[in-house]
Structure 1
């Protein structure tokens, strides 16, 4: 089957797997046939969060609102009026087929304005985050929210209504919602009402605290009428103060299959957890947690051993296959960490010494039991002298694998013409030099399980500065831009250093006004490693060039003597960056 005979329905199925910008700015421009296919495509998932201003305007103009089934908008920190801009650019009443809406950091008047004008009857998912309440609009807001939640096909909701607002919302009885995310503190009273009105609610994520008046409302002796048997998945990211309060709540959820707990409380008794689960949570199949607790008492290895021993029973290791780690930097900290593996926390502060002092409830590697997935999407690594002992850097230099991919020949020629024009016709008084650079394709991170050391592997190819300036620093025509992906970018390997004077001042350099790239801007001393300085590209030579070029830059830019800076013998940082 050729592309010309491809059924439009099959082509639309392919488009379902592409983001909107790719469809509109790339696929649409391939040929007339593709343009006609894109024109009739009617399942756009439009995400207008964190896109360029130019593309924002173009998408609002080019996409038919009737063809949009999912819409994401936000007032972001640097673009506070994005939602007002969207309202001014489109006709909201033409969004008649929306199944999903996400509105973040929205003002309440904007929320009401949008919900009044779009069709809410087909919604299955609605997420909103109000950053500015207006008490005059409470009734109006509640009216629209109730209309959404009452829809028979409505399934998922995420909101940040505060306790007072939520208590004034009349939750519709017997609603169809199945998945709820709460981004504000919530009382047990409000949560009980939601459960009682939502017989199909099987998954809930509490991002903030379940407020402590739970003690006065429920207990382990609560009547069966207020149990929540429909709930099978529960995530609590800000735990109640004590394990007794937590147990009071969990005892009301006997059908849980998945449980995730994150908090700063002492809930480290594996035997107690075991007994509670065997009595109250018989269906629990997956238990993830990340708990930490600080106290005045100095911790010892014996303290850690006592904690982890309670998780080394057949219940944890053989029956449930739940693997647990207990860690504490006993030399520097009084905080104990207890967490399931793989780590379930989305934002992780990694402390090398902490993980050097870890005890486990298992003796074999995790890979023998289950696939390790990565739930961590924010990773903070403290750069200090201790870390230097655990970092090992390596290089993979391969021009076939890690050079930028070539563009189609006709597009490449147009790009080369632009680059040559920049080199040959720079503005008067401006200087633009084209030299070869190392291309930082990617960085692989590996952990040595024997000593917990971190190995950073830099995957390098070659590129040139003309490509960088041409593609990543210039506003090139859309007829070229539409073909460029991540694999075509120059990504020259940059080096820089932090230069501190003897009286503790930080040295920054002002770029010359003759620089074609970022003139008159302040920066740390640095530039790029230079491949032209090497006769052969061995890993050893490249490492030496990276370090040497860093030193060369601060010497040339500050005119200090090469041998005068004091570099700590036990710690030296070279910062690598991909432009």
Structure 2
């Protein structure tokens, strides 16, 4: 059967495909016409991500899958696709994906992954392995890791697998997301992965910083993403001592907790030699001593992060609340309650970053009129009744709106207009 799409040149179809996931491309265009089948046969659809996919589409794509072409594969056993990993490997043997370079397994358990572990060493081109454990137990990957000679990037949920199961150093491993590690796991990790250039890790206790600070093993690190347990506090001196070891750092992210007087001082941070040489610096500093509504303290902190070093040279802009200070690049979507919530104080010249990143808004029932035009990425909207909804000028402007919550019945007339 001939379709209008058969008259489009291959180059134009490829441009259309670039705006779709590979799974959607196969589902939409396969078996529509012989011409489109030929286009797909030569298309570079080597990356497949089955996360959140409908079962019908999953089955369709599996029935038409050329496994030797796949270089990146993502499977998930989360609530939207339970049992997907086991179902997939009931159809295929992992060892047959001979060109696979990246494997991502999300929300899995030991029971599920155990059946495919023996096939991992047979993937001679595998350079990236990402696992996300659904249970509180670590995945038993330790012994198999030493057989993955080409592995360059590894992501795990827990550091337990590094405690005693890995015998030989993983010298090709350059990028590691180590999950949460205790002291013994961290010490073991330093011996197992001596050649890291990028590390993302969450530490459980303050004394682990000393272990990092007293070793030159990871002096080649270029990227560090460090989180300290919420029960753990630290000081600027401890962080500075740690950073002194990592003189090759270009990207740093810190999620730490401590005294506002000690850590929320921009003048102090800009004296650290490692910070001076960074290209990118993100941080969230939680205060152990909230200063509540003390505007003087907040303004003093903002002033310390408003020097030419922060604003003009590095262009690292900072925002502050009563309980934390953070670079605006770390701003996480918060619930914006109108009118009790206001945009944070920041060193940025405007608040565009705040309005663009705020995705959830709740309207107080006592508000009579409201202008939300600046929140153009709104995804979740909570209003008391339909009158509040009617008071909003052009709600259809929120093209990303997915969730509408009302606390009273809403008429069909209102719904039809949305």
TM-score (norm 1): 0.58
2:233 maps to 1:241:
yes
Residue aligning to 2:324: 337
Secondary structure in structure 2 of the residue aligned to 1:86: helix
On the 8 A contact 2:356/2:377 being kept in 1, the answer is no
Q: 1:34 aligned to 2:27?
A: no
Q: What is the match of residue 201 of structure 1? A: 196
Secondary structure of the corresponding residue to residue 110 of structure 1: helix
Kindly indicate whether the alpha-carbon contact (under 8 Å) linking 1:443 and 1:457 is maintained by their aligned counterparts in 2: no
Contact 1:311 1:324 in 2 (8 A): yes
Q: Deviations over 1:26-71 (max 9, x none)?
A: 2224421221232355643222211111112112222122222211
Aligned to 2:312, the other structure's residue is in SS state helix
> Which residue number in structure 1 is paired with residue 152 of structure 2?
155
Map 1:368-379 onto structure 2 (within 5 A).
Answer: 376=357, 379=359
The CA deviation string for residues 354-413 of structure 1, in whole angstroms up to 9 with x for no partner, is: 764744446x4488xxxx69995x844344357x4783157xxxxxxxxxxxxxxxxxxx
2:77 maps to: 75
Contact in 2 for aligned 1:28/1:38 (Cα 8 Å): yes
Is the 8 Å Cα contact of residues 286 and 325 (structure 2) preserved in structure 1? Answer: yes
Aligned partner of 2:294 in structure 1 is: 300
Q: Distance in 2 between matches of 1:245 and 1:43?
A: 48
Distance 1:357 1:67 in 2: 49
Residues 442-486 of structure 1 show CA distances to partners (whole Å, capped at 9, x for unaligned) of 9666xxxxxxxxx875347xxxxxxxxxxxxxxxxxxxxxxxxx9
Task: Determine helix, strand or coil for the equivalent of 1:251.
Answer: helix
In structure 2, the residue corresponding to 1:117 is in which secondary structure?
Answer: helix
The range that moved more, 90-99 or 34-43, is 34-43
- Larger Rg: 1 or 2? 1
C-alpha separation in 2, matches of 1:393 and 1:373: 13
Q: What per-residue deviation string (whole Å, max 9, x for no partner) do you get for residues 108-154 of structure 1? A: 1321212323542111211012334889x95xx32322222x31xx3
Name the CA shift for 1:84/1:188 in 2 (closer, same or farther; >3 Å): same
* Aligned counterparts of 1:373 and 1:51: Cα–Cα separation in 2: 32
Aligned counterparts of 2:211 and 2:146: Cα–Cα separation in 1: 26
Cα distance, 1:169–1:124 mapped onto 2, change above 3 Å: same
Instruction: Tell me, yes or no, if structure 1 residue 211 matches structure 2 residue 205.
Output: yes
| Offset, 1:24 | 1.4
Q: 2:56 aligns with which of 28, 43, 54?
A: 54
TM-score when scaled to structure 2?
0.77
Aligned residue among 386, 392, 403 for 2:371: 392
CA displacement at 1:318 relative to structure 2 = 3.4
Q: Provide the secondary structure at the position in 2 that maps to 1:147.
A: coil
How many angstroms does 1:530 deviate by? 8.3
Q: Which runs of 5+ in 1 are unaligned?
A: 329-335, 395-441, 446-454, 461-485, 500-523, 532-545, 547-575
**Map of 1:298-337 to 2, 5 A cutoff?**
298-328=292-322, 336-337=323-324
Residues 148-179 of structure 1: per-residue CA shift (max 9 Å, x gap): 2x31xx3321111343x321132643622232
Distance 1:218 1:74, change over 3 A: closer
Superposed CA RMSD in Å reads: 4.2
Give the structure 2 partner of residue 226 of structure 1. 216
- Provide the C-alpha distance between the structure 1 equivalents of 2:413 and 2:248, rounded to a whole number of angstroms: 58
Q: Kindly report structure 1 stretches of 4+ aligned residues shifted beyond 6 Å.
A: 2-8, 10-14, 493-496
- 1:143 counterpart = 2:136: no
The 1:231/1:59 distance shift into structure 2, 3 A limit, reads same
Distance 2:123 2:21 in 1: 24
1:262–1:291 CA contact under 8 A, matched in 2: yes
Cα deviation, residue 498, structure 1: 2.7
Partner residue of 1:514?
none
Distance, in Å, in 1 between the alignment partners of 2:369 and 2:188 is: 52
